[in-house]
């Protein structure tokens, strides 16, 4: 079934590109697009291509992925949103979404000369080395604005910047309850962004309070910098990430254990927010509250832990999950944690998001983090077994975790069937898509892309899908084809990581070819950051043989039509992470 999915996605990529792009790879769409929003959606339309290749997709899918990345870059340069091959200015929720595309390309082909130059060029914009884009202040260890990019930090947002988002934000609660002339008491009140008078008041208030300065969302930029470290090994990138994550930990400590969501231009908490630690851009109040704050802290903590091997960096996101839980209330017989904070205190109570805890536990493998999941998110065996898809095909990790803990024996079948079902659904929409391109929304293509490999990633690599808004792939096992010297499962080979523990991963490997042998190389960690210690051949509940290993990679020879189950011992986070391929000689 895995090999069938891979074959179908290889073909799906061709049909999708044929229908929605021109000969030069640009999207069939309108000639003009205003505002600061949109380039991320162009990139998101194809970001699954290099991710699919990393799992085992065809060389054609990777080459198309590279060509389409360059085409989107050129097209949105014409629109005026991309400058110097990078988004001119926007926030790091959206930079993070589009950035994953580029990270996957670099990971798939770390010797691609142009991408290497681009990676270092982009990182310079965020470590204080690009005078045209001085987004980072290394002395204060802070980003200078929530809106940033290749044109540098934005200190005043314009009406045009928000032109494409005004109809959408009219349905969201307003960013502040005390906007002059439009005050209200209910924190859920929405204001009409389409009304020019109302919008002018909203924009003036946002400019007065939200920019310039730093916000937790900017921690998503650490993935861009980590990407350069994985390509070059340059110590300055690791130093920047640890400095920046540590700065946010210190701000959290200064604020009584709550991460502030706004840092003023001189480095003070609440400097432009009347002393309030809440109210920043994509902060505790607006627009999504704890969901985005928690994600950004997780991304920063994960990247710092990856590059240093020090799991204590996860204390920053863990502390905020604990802080939210400490402010819980009981409602209808259920414990509910807040998601937002404003002048009236904490509000927006609901069940904690299991995905945040899953990402924390997947990297930490700390028993206390597992207990947090079961205490706060309910018994894992009672979670829904249907693996849903979200934006751009992001696959829910909840059923995956249940399988890794031995609490589900239907996960693999469910992941395959759900993926196939969504591919069929998207193909139906593609073939019945009779809209005119000038009527399409900027999200049109990403919602139709039938290349949705996240379920395959979870099954084969023993990890949840990366955090969507810019997280890296913190996988337990990565595969290579030693005969073709490329990333991904070799032809005819299928794999399923059916268990992960703190010091091991158990993987089933199958050669579905009945006449030809296959070789597959396994790497300990997506970036070779772990080290294999031994390999046990497992048959049923018994170990039939054991081999001692001291390497971050090993090769397995699979005769025709054979399968094997290996329990691989490993020491985690003991090697310097890198995109470099293992030695196949």
8-31 pLDDT, tens digit per residue, is 999 999 999 999 999 999 999 999
Environment class of 129 (CB within 10 Å of its CB; exposed 0-12, middle 13-18, buried 19+)? middle
User: For 80, left (φ over 0), alpha (ψ -120 to 50), or beta?
Assistant: left
d(CA 122, CA 106): 13
Question: What's the pLDDT band for 382 if we cut at 50, 70, 90?
Answer: confident
Q: What is the mean pLDDT of residues 168-186?
A: 96
**pLDDT surpassing 70 at residue 303:** yes
Question: What confidence score (pLDDT) does residue 141 get?
Answer: 98
d(CA 81, CA 245): 29
d(CA 346, CA 340): 6
Under a CB-based contact definition with an 8 Å cutoff, are residues 281 and 289 in contact? no
The reply to whether 374 falls in a domain is: no
- Percent of the chain, pLDDT > 90? 94
Q: What is the pLDDT of residues 442-478, one digit of tens each?
A: 999 999 999 999 999 999 999 999 999 999 999 999 9
Question: What confidence score (pLDDT) does residue 387 get?
Answer: 56
Q: Return the HEC string of 497-531.
A: EEEEECCEEEEEEEECCCCCCEEEEEEECCCCCCE
Structural domain harbouring 533? 477-571
Q: What is the mean pLDDT of residues 257-277?
A: 97
The reply to whether 562 falls in a domain is: yes
Q: Which of 306, 351, 354, 334 is nearest to 526 (CA)?
A: 306
Question: What confidence score (pLDDT) does residue 301 get?
Answer: 98
* Sign of the CA dihedral running 476, 482, 485, 488: negative
Domain final position from 171, 190, 210: 210
Q: What is the mean pLDDT of residues 138-153?
A: 98
Question: What confidence score (pLDDT) does residue 243 get?
Answer: 98
The reply to whether 543 falls in a domain is: yes
Question: What confidence score (pLDDT) does residue 395 get?
Answer: 78
Collapsing DSSP states into helix, strand and coil, what is residue 485?
Answer: coil
The reply to whether 564 falls in a domain is: yes
The reply to whether 542 falls in a domain is: yes
The reply to whether 3 falls in a domain is: no
Angle between helices 92-108 and 48-55 (to 10 degrees): 40
Question: What's the pLDDT band for 540 if we cut at 50, 70, 90?
Answer: confident
Domain final position from 210, 230, 255: 210
Q: What is the mean pLDDT of residues 310-327?
A: 98
The reply to whether 74 falls in a domain is: no
Domain final position from 182, 210, 238: 210
Q: What is the pLDDT of residues 419-428, one digit of tens each?
A: 999 999 999 9
Q: Which CATH number do you get for residue 536?
A: 2.60.40.1180
Domain count within the chain: 2
Q: What is the mean pLDDT of residues 136-146?
A: 98
Count other C-beta atoms under 10 Å from residue 209's C-beta.
Answer: 21
Two structure tokens written together for 187: 């924190």
Query: Comparing 150-154, 220-224, 396-400, 513-517, which segment has the lowest mean pLDDT?
Result: 396-400
* Sign of the CA dihedral running 573, 574, 577, 581: negative
Environment class of 437 (CB within 10 Å of its CB; exposed 0-12, middle 13-18, buried 19+)? exposed
Q: What is the mean pLDDT of the chain?
A: 96
Report the Cα–Cα distance between both ends of the chain, in Å, rounded.
31
The reply to whether 553 falls in a domain is: yes
Question: What confidence score (pLDDT) does residue 577 get?
Answer: 98
Question: What confidence score (pLDDT) does residue 384 get?
Answer: 75
Q: Is the peptide bond before 123 cis (omega within 30 degrees of 0)?
A: no
Q: What is the mean pLDDT of residues 296-314?
A: 98
Question: What confidence score (pLDDT) does residue 381 get?
Answer: 85
């Amino acid at each position: 079934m895995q090999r069938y999915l891979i074959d179908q996605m290889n073909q799906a990529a061709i049909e999708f590109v044929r229908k929605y792009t021109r000969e030069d790879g640009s999207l069939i769409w309108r000639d003009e697009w205003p505002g600061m929003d949109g380039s991320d959606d162009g990139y998101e339309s194809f970001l699954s291509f290099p991710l699919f290749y990393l799992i085992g997709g065809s060389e054609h899918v990777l080459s198309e992925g590279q060509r389409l990345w360059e085409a989107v870059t050129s097209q949105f340069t014409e629109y005026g949103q991309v400058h110097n091959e990078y988004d001119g200015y926007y926030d790091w929720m959206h930079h993070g979404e589009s950035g994953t595309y580029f990270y996957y390309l670099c990971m798939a082909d770390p010797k691609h000369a142009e991408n290497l130059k681009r990676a270092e060029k982009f990182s310079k914009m965020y470590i204080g080395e690009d005078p045209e884009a001085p987004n980072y202040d290394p002395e204060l260890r802070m980003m200078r604005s929530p809106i940033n990019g290749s044109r540098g930090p934005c200190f005043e947002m314009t009406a045009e910047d928000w032109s494409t988002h005004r109809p959408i934000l009219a349905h969201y609660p307003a960013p502040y309850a005390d906007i002059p002339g439009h005050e209200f008491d209910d924190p859920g009140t929405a204001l009409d962004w389409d009304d020019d008078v109302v919008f002018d008041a909203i924009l003036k208030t946002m400019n007065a309070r939200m920019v310039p300065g730093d916000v937790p969302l900017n921690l998503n930029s650490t993935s861009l910098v980590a990407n350069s470290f994985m390509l070059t090994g340059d110590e300055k990138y690791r130093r920047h990430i640890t400095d920046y994550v540590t700065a946010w930990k210190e701000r959290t400590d200064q604020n009584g254990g709550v991460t502030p969501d706004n840092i003023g231009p001189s480095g003070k908490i609440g400097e432009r927010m009347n002393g309030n630690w809440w109210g920043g851009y994509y902060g505790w109040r607006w627009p999504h509250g704890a969901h985005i704050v928690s994600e950004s802290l997780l991304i920063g903590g994960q990247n710092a832990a990856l590059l240093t091997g020090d799991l204590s960096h996860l204390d920053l996101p863990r502390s905020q999950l604990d802080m939210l839980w400490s402010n819980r209330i009981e409602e209808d017989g259920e414990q509910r944690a807040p998601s937002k904070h404003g002048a009236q205190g904490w509000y927006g109570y609901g069940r904690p998001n299991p995905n945040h805890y899953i990402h924390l536990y997947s990297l930490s493998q700390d028993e206390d983090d597992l207990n947090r999941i079961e205490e706060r998110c309910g018994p894992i065996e009672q979670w829904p077994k249907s693996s849903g898809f979200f934006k751009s095909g992001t696959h829910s990790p909840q059923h995956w975790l249940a399988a890794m803990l031995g609490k589900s024996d239907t996960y693999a079948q469910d992941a395959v069937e759900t993926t196939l079902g969504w591919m069929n659904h998207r193909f139906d929409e593609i073939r019945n898509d009779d809209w005119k391109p000038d009527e399409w929304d900027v999200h049109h293509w990403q919602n139709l892309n039938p290349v949705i490999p996240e379920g395959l990633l979870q099954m084969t690599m023993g990890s949840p899908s990366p955090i969507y808004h810019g997280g890296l792939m913190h996988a337990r096992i990565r595969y290579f084809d030693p005969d073709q010297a490329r990333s991904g499962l070799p032809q005819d080979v299928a794999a399923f990581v059916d268990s992960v523990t703190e010091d091991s991963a158990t993987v089933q490997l199958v050669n579905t070819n009945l006449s030809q042998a296959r070789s597959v190389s396994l790497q300990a960690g997506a970036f070779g950051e772990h080290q294999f210690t031994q390999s046990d051949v497992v048959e049923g509940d018994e170990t039939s043989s054991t081999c001692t290993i001291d390497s971050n990679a090993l090769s397995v020879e699979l005769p025709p039509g054979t399968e094997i189950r290996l329990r691989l011992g490993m020491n985690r986070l003991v090697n310097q992470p890198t995109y470099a391929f293992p030695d196949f000689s």
